[in-house]
Amino acid sequence: MPVASQPLGRRERNKQQKLERIIAAASELFAENGVEDVTTQQIAQKADIGTGTLFLYAKTKGELLLLVQNANYAEALERGRADAEKTADVLDAVMAIVRPIVECNRSQVDNGRTYLREMVFGDPTEPHHGEALSIVAQTEEAIAAVLSRSGLMATDAAATAARIVSAIMFISMAASVNAGAGIEAIVQDIRTQVSLLLPR
Amino acid sequence: MPVASQPLGRRERNKQQKLERIIAAASELFAENGVEDVTTQQIAQKADIGTGTLFLYAKTKGELLLLVQNANYAEALERGRADAEKTADVLDAVMAIVRPIVECNRSQVDNGRTYLREMVFGDPTEPHHGEALSIVAQTEEAIAAVLSRSGLMATDAAATAARIVSAIMFISMAASVNAGAGIEAIVQDIRTQVSLLLPR
DNA sequence: ACTCCTTACTGAGCCCAGTCAGTTACACCG
DNA sequence: CGGTGTAACTGACTGGGCTCAGTAAGGAGT
């Protein structure tokens, strides 16, 4: 009943703080050791919460990774979108969107691949998974926008082409064959495929 | 030292028999209940071997699925290849290769998706994984052959295009969005994308 | 302040994939 | 045949993700 300046009760604030501690703990441990080599116990301990509590904030370890990484991908997308706008050539513009995402994905190879795995095979009804899917959808929209802007294809064709680019990106980043490849190699690999997709 | 007609020792024969029992047991249990709902213990028990023995024949449960399913995919590929040869139109010929694979993959949706997951994210140095990758390579070769046969594109472009078709197939079959989709819906979805890839 | 309700939290424990020290079965040799 | 090396097998055990019955804490009404 007191202060209207602070609309949140103690309860809500505690929850928020816990979430932030979880994100901080998981983020740090994942970056340092890779998802596979971090146990949920370690994360809970570092976040100073019980093991069970962790799973109130993310249903599975995979969801936890999505929770932690989604923001990075969203940011990468934004950078790419801005870059693409300043780029005249269609292929270059598409690649301007692709590159930051590949860079984001490759900042830690194993985590990047696990992220992709969760995206495709995780439970789409979970909230963080949903957010990840939304980022993919936005990426495809951005690519479609570039393609239709160019006038090379109709808008529905552009949307389909964007889905294909998305599939190409996924496989190039996820394939175990490319697990050892660097950013440039992957970007180049994707570029070759995308260039074939654009009407000549 | 007796019979030269039977060149294998008891040891080798036992191994072979065990492998066959494992394949039979796993195959049946997977088909009946789905990979997720079958424990390695159950498989070992049904195959009448110790739990540890199972892992001498397949390093992980995922490898076990590949071991059991590879033959089906190889057969599907063969059927598709034969069909494609009899098909004049390029798009139809490509889809002739695609369809049996989708059918194979969808005979049990969860197992199909798990198979794809193992393919992309499993350990490529494991033997059954290697075989799976070889089937994919052969699929791409078959598609590339159809494309270059058509004279629509140079052989190197055909190879790249085949990789793209492969990526499209993968995502269309694996995506959780399509988890509820039937064979026809997926085939149609793939067809739409592939048609955009072919030079108009 | 006390009670009561609801929501959040907790950690002992479950389940199961995968391991490894110990055992067995085969093959080969003298 | 007995001895010996070796490959195959085994199941008790471990580690880790996740659950759930029980507990604590915030809020609301009196």
Distance (Å, rounded) from C-alpha B95 to C-alpha A11? 57
Closest CA to B152 of B90, B96, B194, B84: B90
For the CA of A7 and the C1' of C20, the distance in angstroms is 58
At A2 the pLDDT is 39
B161 and A120 within 8 Å at the Cβ level: the answer is no
User: Do B43 and B75 have their domain in common?
Assistant: no
User: Do A49 and A145 have their domain in common?
Assistant: no
- Total residue length of chain A: 200
User: Do B70 and B167 have their domain in common?
Assistant: yes
Mutate to test the interface with A, among B36, B111, B163, B186 (most CBs of A within 10 A): B163
At A6 the pLDDT is 56
Query: Residue A179 domain-assigned?
Result: yes
Full-model pTM: 0.95
- Which residue among B124, B168, B199 sits closest to A164, beta carbon to beta carbon? B168
User: Do B172 and B74 have their domain in common?
Assistant: yes
Lowest mean pLDDT among A8-22, A94-108, B113-127, B165-179: A8-22
Is A15 (CB) below 7 Å from strand C?
yes
Is A108 a residue whose pLDDT tops 50? Answer: yes
Closest CA to B198 of B96, B92, B99: B92
Is B161 a residue whose pLDDT tops 90? Answer: yes
Q: Which chain A residue is nearest to residue B124, measuring alpha carbons? A: A176
In this prediction, residue A8 has a pLDDT band, given cuts at 50, 70 and 90, of: confident
Is A46 a residue whose pLDDT tops 60? Answer: yes
Query: Residue A200 domain-assigned?
Result: no
User: Do A66 and A127 have their domain in common?
Assistant: yes
Residues A147-179 pLDDT 10s = 999 999 999 999 999 999 999 999 999 999 999
Q: Cβ-count burial of A110 within 10 angstroms (0-12 exposed, 13-18 middle, 19+ buried)?
A: middle
Is B41 (CB) below 7 Å from strand C?
yes
User: Do A108 and A155 have their domain in common?
Assistant: yes
* CATH number of A27's domain: 1.10.10.60
A79 within 8 A of A97, measured Cβ to Cβ: no
User: Do A107 and A134 have their domain in common?
Assistant: yes
User: Do B80 and B177 have their domain in common?
Assistant: yes
Q: How many domains does chain B have?
A: 2
Count of CA atoms in the C-beta half-sphere (13 A) of A58: 26
User: Do B50 and B66 have their domain in common?
Assistant: no
A121 and B166 within 8 Å at the Cβ level: the answer is no
- Total residue length of chain B: 200
User: Do A141 and A189 have their domain in common?
Assistant: yes
At A19 the pLDDT is 98
- Rounded to an integer, the average pLDDT of B91-109 is 98
Read off the tokens for B160. Answer: 């790249």
Query: Residue B147 domain-assigned?
Result: yes
A52 within 8 A of A13, measured Cβ to Cβ: no
Among chain A residues 53-82, those with CB within 7 Å of any atom of strand C: 53, 56
- CA B1, distance to chain mean position in Å, is 41
Amino acid at A19: L
Mutate to test the interface with A, among B176, B186, B190, B191 (most CBs of A within 10 A): B176
Helix axes of B127-149 and B61-85: crossing angle, nearest 10 degrees: 20
For the CA of A111 and the C1' of C6, the distance in angstroms is 38
- Rounded to an integer, the average pLDDT of B152-160 is 96
Higher pLDDT, A190 or B12: A190
Chain D positions with an atom below 7 A of a protein C-beta are: 7-13, 15-21, 25-28
B112 within 8 A of B173, measured Cβ to Cβ: yes
User: Do A50 and A66 have their domain in common?
Assistant: no
At A3 the pLDDT is 38
* CATH number of B86's domain: 1.10.357
Is A171 strand, coil or helix? helix
Distance (Å, rounded) from C-alpha B193 to C-alpha B165? 8
Read off the tokens for A86. Answer: 């300043």
User: Do B166 and B132 have their domain in common?
Assistant: yes
CB contacts < 8 A, A to B, total 71
In this prediction, residue A9 has a pLDDT band, given cuts at 50, 70 and 90, of: confident
- Rounded to an integer, the average pLDDT of B74-81 is 98
Query: Residue B94 domain-assigned?
Result: yes
Nucleotide nearest to A53 (CA to C1'): C9
Domain of A146 in residue numbering reads as 60-195
Query: Residue A42 domain-assigned?
Result: yes
